Each structure stands twice: as structure tokens, then as C-alpha cells.
Amino acid sequence: MSKFEALIHQDNNMLQIKNFYFNPLHECCSVAWDGTGECVIIDPGFYIPDERDILKDFIADKGLKPVKILLTHAHFDHVFGLKECAGMYGIPVYMDPADKGTLENAGYFCSMFGLKKPETDVRTEDIHDGDRIKFGDTEFEVLSTPGHTPGGVCFYDRADKVLFSGDTLFAGAIGRTDHPGGDYDKLMEGIFNKLTVLDGDVEVIPGHGPHTTITDERTKNPFLQPFNEPYEEDDRQS
């Protein structure tokens, strides 16, 4: 298995997910598909040709048909490969319009890391809290969770109990808010009102780092203390 790849979730009877960890910041780019063969690409952050080819070859080898690109947010490490990916497959990019300024200025931090600026002039479709994004027989719900960026969202597959949390929620951590567009209060509001209320056994796939569950985060995440204390482990059965 390539160092860029990690298989997180695979079951022929439900949503299948392949995670790739791309670019120097090890951003998680996910391909999600079902039995129809249609797939979505979440946060295409590939930076070098080898990473692009790994993603492209995987999709071709699986015989998948990409139909949408979904952005949890528009920071540079999540959009390095955005324009090339959209062009390769001729598909639209779905994002919260509140993050269009973030997308336009995606190169803001690149010089700090010595990285090239991403190309971001792509066709976008607006999404908002509560919207449903459909592909194949699968439906993702858009959960608006601003704070890390003004238009940060999570994608929730209620049927398969999977949450793509972007940089809103990590295993044992939360997204940073100490940069332009960050808002700590909004971030925490979104986490508590939209994420911690989900079933405890929901699998969380963050934008960086290992996957986790809602129960683990609301009972063990130090950034959610003391608010998580009332939850019990058996909440995963709720």
C-alpha cells in the first residue's frame, strides 16, 4: 500500500471509502462510492503528480465514475488539486458560499510553508446547512460548522453512520481558529449543536489524522470538557 493511502471503511453492502493523505500537511482526501459506481471526491488536496496519479489510478482501477467534488472548507491544503481534479473529470465543486473568499485567498499561507499557490478558478455550486447531496444511491447531509473557516461544513451519511468532519473536529482536538476567518465561538457552537448530538457510533473521518467516533470525542476530547461529561458510553445505542 502506498504511503499516501489508507483504507478506512469498506463493505460491499454499504458506502465504501478510500482515504488518501496528501501534501506536506497530510490532508485527508476521500473517495466515497456505493454499488452504483458513482463517487464523490472530498477535499482533493493532492500536491505532486505522484499523488494525483495515485488518486486517478485508484478511481480508474475501481471503475468509478466521479460526479461531484465536495469541499469541507477551502484552505490551501484541501484544494491543492482542486482545479486539476475538476478538469480531469469535468465535474462541479460543491462548497458553502461563505468560503468563497477563503478559496480566492487559498494561497495566503503557502509562502509561509514554502509551497506553491493552488489554482482555484473552478465552477462551484452553493451548498447550505441541511442540503442533501446525492450520488448513486447515497445521500450526504450538509452540516454547517463554521469557525475554522467562515464556510466550513461537515458531510454526514446518516444511513451508513459516517461523518466527514474536515478541520472542524479531530481525534482529540478541534480546528484552529487563530487565523483570518476563524471564530472559536462559532466553531464550538457547531460542534455541540451539530456533531456531539449524533449517535455515538458514528464514524468520524477528519481532515487530518486518525478517524474516531462521536462517543470517543464527546467523552475523551479535552477541548470538549467539561461539556462532554454528561454523556455515557452506552449513548452509542441511542
What does the block give as the cell for 168? 472542524
- The string of pLDDT tens digits covering residues 192-218 is 999 999 999 999 999 999 999 999 999
Which residue in the block uniquely carries the three cell numbers 490532508?
Answer: 27
Phi, psi of 133 (to 5 degrees): -110, 120
In a 10 Å sphere around its CB, with 0-12 CB exposed, 13-18 middle and 19+ buried, how is residue 7 labelled?
exposed
**Backbone φ/ψ region at 237: left (φ over 0), alpha (ψ -120 to 50), beta:** alpha
| Low-confidence spans in the chain with pLDDT less than 50 | 1-4, 8, 231-238
Q: Which residues pair with 205 in a beta bridge?
A: 164
Return the pLDDT at 90: 98
* 3-state secondary structure string across the chain: CCCCEEEEECCCCCCEEEEEEECCCCEEEEEEECCCCEEEEECCCCCCHHHHHHHHHHHHHHCCEEEEEECCCCCHHHHCCHHHHHHHHCCCEEECHHHHHHHHCCCCCHHHHCCCCCCCCCCEEECCCCCEEEECCEEEEEEECCCCCCCCEEEEECCCCEEEEECCEECCEECCCCCCCCCHHHHHHHHHHHHCCCCCCCEEEECCCCCEEHHHHHHHCHHHCCCCCCCCHHHHHC
What is the number of domains present in the chain? 1
Task: Give the structural domain span for 129.
Answer: 5-237
Closest CA to 1 of 17, 21, 30: 21
Q: Cβ contacts of residue 229 below 8 Å, gap of 6+?
A: none
Of residues 186, 175, 94, the one with CA closest to residue 145: 186
Question: What is the grid cell recorded at 161?
Answer: 453512520
Separation CA 40–CA 32 (nearest Å): 5
Q: What is the pLDDT of residue 152?
A: 99
Domain of 85, CATH number, reads 3.60.15.10
Q: How far is CA 102 from the centre of its chain?
A: 16
